[in-house]
Amino acid sequence: MKTIGRVSFSAHSDGRQTKEFITALQTTKHVVLVHGQEAPMKRLKDSLLQEPALVARGMSVYNPKNQEKVVVPFATQRVAKVLGSLVRQAPKDGDFVHGVLLINSQHKYTVVHPRDISTFTGLQTVSIHQAMVLPLAAHKSDSEILSVLQTYFAESEMFKDVTPSKAANDAETDNADTATSRINVSGSV
């Protein structure tokens, strides 16, 4: 049976220690490197891909940018029924179906849209709203705050097409010394 495991270890390990640790994982076929600076992560990936023991077992190493998808191929083929609102448009061969994979006690697979979970299971779903508070210097305009957010989330599409509203810009001009700007970054899961 194929499994996906997550291992967490000291952030203070160096490239050599990390390489030794990964090499010792005898059955590992895919490694996803996260939480590091881009240049050192690339060097570690390149080093791992040159390690004879890892090359011999055909290990793949990924070092995605923040929020970048990683598609890990599995050789085992499974058949799943697609139900509910995902059926409205039948996928073509080779298309990806984005949904929730449900597995019953007989190991039968079903894929449904997250909104359809309660329809096809005894489970109920809830929406979780989250907010992030970023400390910003006082007396910043909405344009300056937006610039900070666009820089902070540069690898995301989140603020790509966002512009401050006209009302916010007018408030900046009218009350430049006393205006308080607040931009809430929120999303639903």
132-189: pLDDT as tens digits: 777 767 767 778 888 877 887 777 777 777 776 654 445 444 444 444 444 554 444 4
Sheet holding 100-103, edge to edge: 80-82, 109-112, 100-103
| pLDDT tens-digit series, residues 27-83 | 888 888 887 888 888 888 998 888 888 888 888 899 998 888 888 887 777 788 889
Distance (Å, whole) CA 55 – CA 41: 18
Q: Give catalytic status of residue 12 as yes or no.
A: yes
pTM: 0.40
Catalytic option among 12, 35, 98, 107 = 12
Dig out the tokens for 59 from the structure. 């290990």
| pLDDT tens-digit series, residues 97-108 | 888 999 988 889
